[in-house]
Amino acid sequence: MTTTQHLQRPFGRLGYAVDGPADGPLVLLVPGMGDLRRTWDAVARDLVAHGCRVAALDLRGHGESDPDRDPAGHGVAPVAEDVLALARHLGATPDHPVVLVGSSVGAGGVVRAAADAPDLVAGVVALAYAANDGAPTRTVRLQVRTLLSRPWGPRAWAWFYRSLVKAPVDVAAHTAALRADLARPGHLAQLRTLALRLVEGREDTRLAAVRAPVVAILGDADPESKHPAAELDRMVATAPDVTPVLLPGVGHYPQHEATAVVVERIAALVDRVLPAASARPAGPRA
């Protein structure tokens, strides 16, 4: 999924790529903060082999998406808005809905999208979900500002990303791509803006309003979660149809650390909730 296409949004252009049969069930993949859509490459390849039409986007100010200079344009709600806009552009309708998959803040974004547009979303897979609704602390804000400053910011983020990977997988090429992206004009500042927005702790994923099936995947070694099993329990208690998946020895990026399990869970949900591929109309590819 290397060919970038763009969808015009109020803030600028949203970069995305799409692959797979035009009549396949639509799956939309959303990366997390400071990540790129390439984080989904292995997952997307296997889902295409399963017969899915797979799209992956870059968050605002990440990868091939334009920056959004308005701080209010970053956070869970703007992610959800972009996800739904792209899903509609690619042909999602109430008769032919989409399965949404997100990682970290992308997980919060797809959950919010499912709550905001229940007629368009048939199911959700949330990796390393966090509510981002806790109280902010001055120390954390200072740490974010320090970490994500020039000239060390791109290297520091690559180091931090690697520190969240706990399974024995090689992410060197991926973190090199992250460093290169953050060297682009304005991208480090966009990452800092999003990070500061999230640590404010005022995000609302609207999980309780989601009626579509949710598969929640969390690594039991995820440094971003104090009590992973308890986090999954809270999700189960909040929404009516949550399937918890706790992965032993996995950190914050199951798409890298447990790719086969992630693909298996997404494919199973697609087969459960989406119509047969042969019954789906082809959506636009550009």
Domain-located, residue 282: no
The model carries a pTM of 0.94
Residue 284 lies in a domain: no
Residue 131: strand pairing partners? none
255: in domain = yes
pLDDT at 217: 98
* % of the chain at pLDDT higher than 90: 83
Q: How many domains are contained in the chain?
A: 1
pLDDT tens by residue, 140-187: 778 888 888 889 999 999 999 999 999 999 999 999 999 999 999 999
Q: In what order do the strands lie in the sheet containing 121-127?
A: 5-9, 12-19, 53-57, 26-30, 98-103, 121-127, 214-219, 242-247
- DSSP characters for 60-104? TTSTTSPP--SGGG-SHHHHHHHHHHHHHHTT--SSS-EEEEEET
Confidence of residue 222 (pLDDT cuts 50, 70, 90): very high
Q: What is the pLDDT of residue 143?
A: 80
Judge whether 172 lies within some domain: yes
Segment 124-142, tens digit of pLDDT: 999 999 877 666 566 677 8
172-182 vs 187-199: helix crossing angle, rounded to 10: 100
Two tokens at 83? 């996800």
pLDDT for 277: 46
What six digits make up the tokens of 220?
């039991």
Place of tokens 């969808």: 7
Asked whether residue 286 is assigned to any structural domain, the reply reads no
Residue 99 bridge partners (DSSP): 27, 123
- CA dist 239 and 135 (Å) reads 22
Q: Which domain holds residue 123?
A: 5-275
Residue 245: give its domain's CATH number. Answer: 3.40.50.1820
Looking at the domain assignment, is residue 165 inside a domain? yes
Residue 68 and residue 61: Cα distance in Å, rounded? 6
Q: Among 12-21, 65-74, 268-277, name the most confident range.
A: 12-21
Report yes or no on 280 lying in a domain: no
Across residues 62-89, what is the average pLDDT? 95
Q: Which amino acid is at 225?
A: S
**Is 283 a domain residue?**
no
In eight-state DSSP terms, residue 135 is P
